[in-house]
Amino acid sequence: MASTLNEYEKNKELNKDDVKYLTEWINKQPHLPKINELQLILFLHSCYYKLEPTKTCIENFYTVRGHCPEFFSKRNPKENHKEVIDLVLYRPLELLTPNEGYKVIYARLINTDVDKYSFPTQVKAFDMASMLMLHLEGTHKGLIIVTDMQGATFAHLTKLNPLHLKKFFFYLQDCMPVRMKGLHFINIPSWIDKLMALIKPFMKKELLEVLQLHSDLETLYKYVPQSCLPKDYGGNAESFQELAKKQRELLLENADYFIEEEKLITDESKRPGKPKNAGDIFGVEGSFKKLNID
């Protein structure tokens, strides 16, 4: 686990009194799980050390994780979902962006078989890689996701469910303890406009502003230098295949972390007032029509 002492050293705005305040606040919330100091620091950092937004983020995070089992349950990589490891790669890269010091997560389908594809499984893979990175490395100044769409087909697009997309983007924007600084797609397919039409309604202005589609890798280098990328793109990081192998090993090595992490959700039976359900957060599932793509 990342050192909390190191967090205070690298984040001069981080205040121990704020962490103490949040600890006392959580202890008074019977429905929230008990979380450690590093987890509190991650939330505080992601909300730029503003206490009320941090409390909202914590509340959202553990509530959503309890109401989206398709994303956040059965996370033991040794038992329940070998397909998570073998479906899609989400790998934090070693080199930070040189100017801003942002962390880069590289994503790409491992198994391109449409019959094996599941968006909830992809979200699970993304979240497991991201949460483990935060647990092991602590805070970063910002996070950039570079998604290589090589191997993705129009048939993959037709398997997307609008309710799953709504849930994911709410989680990404209102729950995750990260500072999202870039969402980049490379090797974009001819049907990218249809994907964008599908996801943009669920994206806030702040995320739309950092969304970039790259038909040429040269335009990506303005945000993520070539040197940061895998050697498949002429960079200094290991190849896609090597990264996939190492990420697989890392997830398996940390199976105990995922088993414990899965337990950290709200207990709605203890929530003051009325318990929340998925409909309270995301709306009624029946209001989402079946996806139709021309």
Task: For tokens 């230098």, name the residue.
Answer: 225
Q: What is the pLDDT of residues 119-149, one digit of tens each?
A: 999 999 999 999 999 999 999 999 999 999 9
Whether the per-residue pLDDT at 288 is higher than 60: the answer is: no
pLDDT for position 284: 57
Per-residue pLDDT of 32-90, as tens digits, reads 999 999 999 999 999 999 999 999 999 999 999 999 999 999 999 888 666 778 999 99
Domain boundaries defined on the chain: 9-71+263-276, 79-255
Helices of type H across the chain:
4-10, 16-27, 37-46, 51-67, 69-72, 82-87, 119-137, 154-157, 162-174, 192-199, 205-209, 217-220, 240-253, 255-261, 278-282
160: region left, alpha or beta (phi > 0 left; psi from -120 to 50 alpha): beta
**Structure token digits, residue 19:** 């962490």
- Note the CATH number of domain 79-255: 3.40.525.10
pLDDT tens-digit readout, 177-216: 999 999 999 999 999 999 999 999 999 999 999 999 999 9
Q: Choose among 122, 208, 214: nearest CA to 161.
A: 122
DSSP 268-284: GGGSSSSPP-HHHHH--
Average pLDDT for 244-266: 95
Helix (H) or strand (E) holding 182: strand 180-186
Q: Is the whole-model pTM more than 0.75?
A: yes
Residue at 271: amino acid letter: R
The helix/strand/coil state of 141 is: coil
